[in-house]
Amino acid sequence: MAEIASFRARSKEGHAAMSMKGDQTDRWVEIQRNTFTNWINEQLRQVDTSIENLQEDLCDGVKLCRLVEVLREERIPRVIKKPLNQHQSLENVTLALNAVSQDNVRLVNIGNEDVVNSTEADNGPDMHLILRYQIGKPNLPRVPSHQLKLASIS
C-alpha cells in the first residue's frame, strides 16, 4: 500500500509537510518556491518586472520594495535603487518590512538580515504576503490556483 504523507502544520504560522520524507520534502519545497515565485511575478507584472530566484532577486530589497508597493498601492520612499553594499540592501529590506508591518502583517522571526543573507528556501515571508494581500484584497489580480499549480510542477 502506498504511503500517504500527512500534511500538518509544524507551527501556528503554517509550515507544512512536516512528516514528509527525503525526496518528498524536497519536492514540496520546490513546489512552494515555484508557487510563491509565480504569485510574486503576477503582482510584479503590474510594474513590468519579475523575479527568477526568490532569494537572489529579493535579497537587495529593491524588488521586494516594488512588490510591497504594488500590494499596498502606495510608494515606499527612500528606496536605494542600486544598493552598493549590504548596509544599503538592509535599509531597503527594512523599508519593505516596515511597510508590511503597517498593514498589520506579522512576519514571525523574520528580520532584514534573514532576507538579505538568505541562502536557502525560506518561504515564510512570501506565504504571509500571499495570505494577507491575495486573500485580503479583492482588487489584486487573482492568479487562478490551477495556473499556480501547473507552473509549480514545471
**Residues 115-153: pLDDT tens digits?**
888 754 455 566 667 766 776 655 555 555 555 554 444
E runs forming strands in 18-115: none
For residues 3-24, average pLDDT: 49
Q: Considering only CA atoms, which of 106, 151, 144 is closest in space to residue 124?
A: 106
Confidence (pLDDT) at 1: 38
Residue 123: which residues within 8 A CB-CB, separation 6 or more? 29, 32, 33, 36, 54
Compute the distance between CA of residue 16 and CA of residue 118 in angstroms, rounded to an integer: 20
Distance CA 97, CA 72 (A): 12
Which residue is associated with the grid cell 538568505? 118
Confidence at residue 9, expressed as pLDDT on a 0 to 100 scale: 41
Q: Are 62 and 92 in contact (CB under 8 A)?
A: yes
pLDDT of residue 52: 94
* Lowest-pLDDT range of 25-29, 108-112, 121-125, 134-138: 121-125
Q: How far apart are CA 149 and CA 113, in angstroms?
A: 30
Average pLDDT on 73-90 reads 96
Please tell me the pTM assigned to this model: 0.69
